[in-house]
Amino acid sequence: MEYADRTKKMKASEIRELLKITQNPEIISFAGGLPSPHSFPVKMIEKITDSVLERHGAQALQYGPTEGLKELRELLIKRMKKKGIKCEMDEIIITTGSQQVLDLTAKIFFNVGDYLIVECPTYLGALAAFNAYQPNYIPVSMDDDGMKMDELERKLEENKNKPLDIIYTVPTFQNPSGVTMSLERRKRILKIAKKYKLIILEDDPYSELRYSGRSVPPIKSLDKDGIVIYTGTFSKILSPGFRLGWLIANKEIIKKMIIAKQGADLCTNTFVEWIAEEYLRYGLVDKQIPKIRKMYKKKRDIMLKALEKYFPKGTKWTKPDGGMFLWVTLPGHLDTKEMFQEAIKEKVAYVHGAAFCVDGKGHDSMRLNFSNAEDNKIDVGIKRLAKIIKKLMK
Ligand SMILES: Cc1ncc(COP(=O)(O)O)c(C=O)c1O
């Protein structure tokens, strides 16, 4: 038996392995990327489920169209319009989470050995999806305003003779850094993509979760040339267990995506599509999101306050206006991967920064999730982490 070349290169996600360790209830975990279990509207879903079975019965249990339920797409078109994104019925499809969009994009665009631009650090799940198609990564570093555009342009110029189609970005409350790309850079990335004839893959799971600051329009809303593939998800505003997302792109790309999706799963889960349809149709989403925001804002504030209180001089961290993560950087001589064992002994967990970086950097950084831990554990957890860092800094 011999596995395919792409399979040989697949490795277990570092986070998955690490989450197994952090399942010990004594450990305060800032490692996972999970929403709070208290953010799920269980009772509401119970009622919607009854209603879906009553109103749509067998249809909700049947296969559906590959492009997704028409009724849900119509409602999403209206919702996206409020964000400044205009699209028609043949420019939007429902997907099995936004994770599927990452996979389908790679599937339709990447030949083995193609190049693609990613932020550094970037979303680990995207690397897992892309890796199966064996691309080469060109990392572009970030600052407090998101991906650095001068560096992007320089690297594109350096690599202009290589096969390169996609710039992947999570521009709003990025996972893992919590950073948001400025409006100026959003305009600039579009100009750059146009100049080099590239597609921007805009992954936007977090923009609804804003707790402070002013909202920034999605890159897709500024896209006059149809060069942005946009993906959104119900995972952070309803339930990740539903595995429900959507994809907006120009008609031509959508046609290819539908063919690719057909081969992947025939259609998205019809039953949960109907549940999401009711969730949107009756405005329940707009009752639920403020509750989630309130819950996570409190958690973010507790974490930021605790970092301020306990973390030693020489450490720094991002101060995200939304999302679920922040990024801590320690003095350069410390290695967060090595420090992890100490952290587990002290019963606190995080994800080391190098896991998110394709350029071998990030060893001095870590991602902290603030949405999942209970409020009263956050301060204690940060205090434990601070103790280890202070010890190692000596
Ligand atoms: C940046 C980013 N993209 C995509 C996903 C996948 O989301 P979904 O549950 O919609 O597949 C996640 C999940 O955490 C994420 O953080």
Cα 205 to ligand 1 centroid, rounded to whole Å: 6
For residues 36-59, average pLDDT: 96
Res. 363 pLDDT band, cuts 50 70 90: very high
pLDDT in tens, 151-192: 999 999 999 999 999 999 999 999 999 999 999 999 999 999
pLDDT in tens, 300-347: 999 999 999 999 999 999 999 999 999 999 998 899 999 999 999 999
Cβ atoms of residues 128 and 100 within 8 Å: no
Nearest to 34 by CA among 205, 230, 204, 179: 205
Question: Is the per-residue pLDDT at 19 higher than 80?
Answer: no
Q: What are the C-alpha distances in Å from 174 to residues 65, 150, 204? A: 32, 20, 9
Q: How many CA atoms lie within 13 A of 359 on its CB side?
A: 13
Amino acid sitting at position 111: N
Torsion (CA) 199, 207, 99, 266 in degrees, nearest 10: -90
Question: Is residue 97 within 6 Å of ligand 1 at its C-beta?
Answer: yes
Going by DSSP bridges, is the β-strand pair 164-169/199-203 parallel, antiparallel, or unpaired? parallel
Cα angle for residues 175, 171, 277 (degrees, 5° grid): 80
**What are the backbone angles phi and psi of residue 281, rounded to the nearest 5°?**
-55, -40
Task: Give the number of other CB atoms < 10 A from CB of residue 36.
Answer: 17
Cα separation, 82 vs 75, whole angstroms: 11
- Report the pLDDT value the prediction gives residue 69, as an integer from 0 to 100: 98
Cα 251 to ligand 1 centroid, rounded to whole Å: 24
- Report the pLDDT value the prediction gives residue 332, as an integer from 0 to 100: 80
- Report the pLDDT value the prediction gives residue 24, as an integer from 0 to 100: 87
Cα separation, 202 vs 224, whole angstroms: 15
Query: Class of the 42-284 domain?
Result: alpha beta
Res. 10 pLDDT band, cuts 50 70 90: confident
Cα angle for residues 382, 357, 370 (degrees, 5° grid): 25
- Report the pLDDT value the prediction gives residue 14, as an integer from 0 to 100: 67
> Is the entire prediction scored with pTM above 0.85?
yes
In the chain, the percentage of residues whose pLDDT exceeds 70 is 99
Give the total residue count for the chain.
Answer: 394
- Report the pLDDT value the prediction gives residue 93, as an integer from 0 to 100: 98
Amino acid sitting at position 349: A
- Report the pLDDT value the prediction gives residue 8, as an integer from 0 to 100: 80
Question: Is residue 235 within 6 Å of ligand 1 at its C-beta?
Answer: yes
Cα separation, 316 vs 175, whole angstroms: 17
- Report the pLDDT value the prediction gives residue 294, as an integer from 0 to 100: 98
- Report the pLDDT value the prediction gives residue 225, as an integer from 0 to 100: 97
Question: Is residue 32 within 6 Å of ligand 1 at its C-beta?
Answer: no
Question: Is residue 98 within 6 Å of ligand 1 at its C-beta?
Answer: yes
Decide if 5-41+287-393 and 42-284 have a common fold. Answer: no
Cα 98 to ligand 1 centroid, rounded to whole Å: 6
Question: Is residue 175 within 6 Å of ligand 1 at its C-beta?
Answer: yes
The helix (H) or strand (E) run that includes residue 295 is helix 284-310
134 dihedral zone (left: phi>0; alpha: psi -120 to 50; beta): left
Query: Class of the 5-41+287-393 domain?
Result: alpha beta
Going by DSSP bridges, is the β-strand pair 164-169/146-147 parallel, antiparallel, or unpaired? unpaired
Mutate to test the pocket of ligand 1, among 39, 93, 123 (most ligand atoms within 8 A of CB): 123
Mutate to test the pocket of ligand 1, among 202, 203, 273 (most ligand atoms within 8 A of CB): 203
Between 36 and 8, residue with greater pLDDT: 36
Question: Is residue 233 within 6 Å of ligand 1 at its C-beta?
Answer: yes
- Report the pLDDT value the prediction gives residue 286, as an integer from 0 to 100: 95
Would you kindly state where each structural domain of the chain is located, as residue ranges?
Answer: 5-41+287-393, 42-284
Question: Is the per-residue pLDDT at 200 higher than 90?
Answer: yes
- Report the pLDDT value the prediction gives residue 217, as an integer from 0 to 100: 98
For residues 20-40, average pLDDT: 90
Mutate to test the pocket of ligand 1, among 208, 233, 246, 371 (most ligand atoms within 8 A of CB): 233
pLDDT in tens, 220-269: 999 999 999 999 999 999 999 999 999 999 999 999 999 999 999 999 99
Cα angle for residues 237, 88, 221 (degrees, 5° grid): 60
Q: Where are the beta strands (DSSP E) in 301-385?
A: 316-317, 325-329, 348-349, 351-352, 365-369
For residues 274-283, average pLDDT: 97
Question: Is the per-residue pLDDT at 47 higher than 90?
Answer: yes
Question: Is residue 240 within 6 Å of ligand 1 at its C-beta?
Answer: yes
**What are the backbone angles phi and psi of residue 36, rounded to the nearest 5°?**
-70, 140
Cα 99 to ligand 1 centroid, rounded to whole Å: 6
Question: Is residue 167 within 6 Å of ligand 1 at its C-beta?
Answer: no
pLDDT in tens, 66-111: 999 999 999 999 999 999 999 999 999 999 999 999 999 999 999 9
Question: Is the per-residue pLDDT at 22 higher than 80?
Answer: no
Cα 256 to ligand 1 centroid, rounded to whole Å: 22
